[in-house]
Amino acid sequence: MSRAGVDRALRRSFQRRLLKWYQSQGRDLPWRRTRDPYRILVSEVMLQQTQVERVLGFYDKFLKRYPTVAELASAPPSKVREAWDGLGYYARARNLHRTAKQVLHRHGGQFPRRYEEVHRLPGVGRSTAGALMSFAFNVPTPILDTNVKRLLSRVFIHRPSPTPAQMERRLWRLSTSLIPNGETWAFNQALMDFGALVCTAKNPRCHTCCLSDMCRAYPKLTRGGVQRR
C-alpha cells in the first residue's frame, strides 16, 4: 500500500483508465489551448464559482479587453468590475486585479513559478495554485476542487475520516499520490472533467463508467435499480 493507502496496481489502473477516457471524452476548452499562466489563471478564477458553460461566454470577452497581465494591472478598478459584470462574486475580479498588479510590480511581469509564491497571490487557494502549476508549468501538483473531491471520495474512500479536516487532508494526499509521472497536465484535466461529466453530484453515470469495478461507491449508488442505463 502507498502512503495515501492506495495499492500501486489500483493507482495505475485508475490513472490509465482516466487518461484513456480523457483522450476521447475530454472537453476542448479555450483555456486548454494555452500555457500562458495569466490566461489559465483568468479561467481558474472564473471557474471557482461559475459553471463552465457560463464562463465560456465571458472568458474570450475578458481577454480581448485585457489580453495581458500588464494591461489588466494598469486598468482602473471600475473598468475591471465592468468587464466582470454578469459573472458575479466580484471579490474574484478584485483579487485577480490585485494579482495582476503583484505580478507586474513584484515579479517583473512574469508569473512566479514556485508553488509557495503562486499560492500567496490574492484569491489563489491551494487548488487554484495546483491548477496553475500543473496547467501552465506542468509541475506535478495536486488539485482538489469540488468535482475532484467527490470523485476521489467515491472511488477510494471506504470509511470517511472522523472530521472534515481529516477527510480533506486525506483527499489531498490521495490527489498527490495519484499524479502519474510526466502526465500532470492531462491527468488533472481528466480528473476535473470526469467529476463534472460522469461522476456528477446528482445521477452519476455509474452504469457506463469505466471506473465502476474499482469504485467503492458503485454498489451503494446502483443498489435497488436506483440508476438506469
Please give the positions annotated as active site.
44
> What is the per-residue burial (b if ≥16 Cβ within 10 Å, else e) of 199-209?
beeeebebeeb
**Minimal CA–CA distance to 134: which of 192, 194, 60, 47?**
192
* Cell numbers linked to 165: 479536516
Cell of 60: 474570450
Task: Give the integer Cα–Cα distance in Å for 127 and 48.
Answer: 10
Residue 46 lies near ligand SF4 (rule: CB under 6 A): no
Q: Pick one of 204, 223, 224, 225: the residue that binds ligand SF4 (CB under 6 A).
A: 204
User: Does residue 148 touch ligand SF4 according to CB under 6 A?
Assistant: no
DSSP string spanning 59-86? Answer: HHHHHHH--SHHHHHHS-HHHHHHHHTT
Span from 16-24, 138-146, 157-165, 199-207 in contact with ligand SF4 (CB under 6 A): 199-207
Q: Is there binding between residue 154 and ligand SF4 (CB under 6 A)?
A: yes
Q: Considering beta carbons, is residue 37 or 204 the nearer one to ligand SF4?
A: 204
Task: List the x/- string, 52-81, binding to ligand SF4 by CB under 6 A.
Answer: ------------------------------
Residues of this chain that interact with ligand SF4 (CB under 6 A) are: 154-155, 198-199, 204-206, 209, 211-212, 215, 217-218, 221
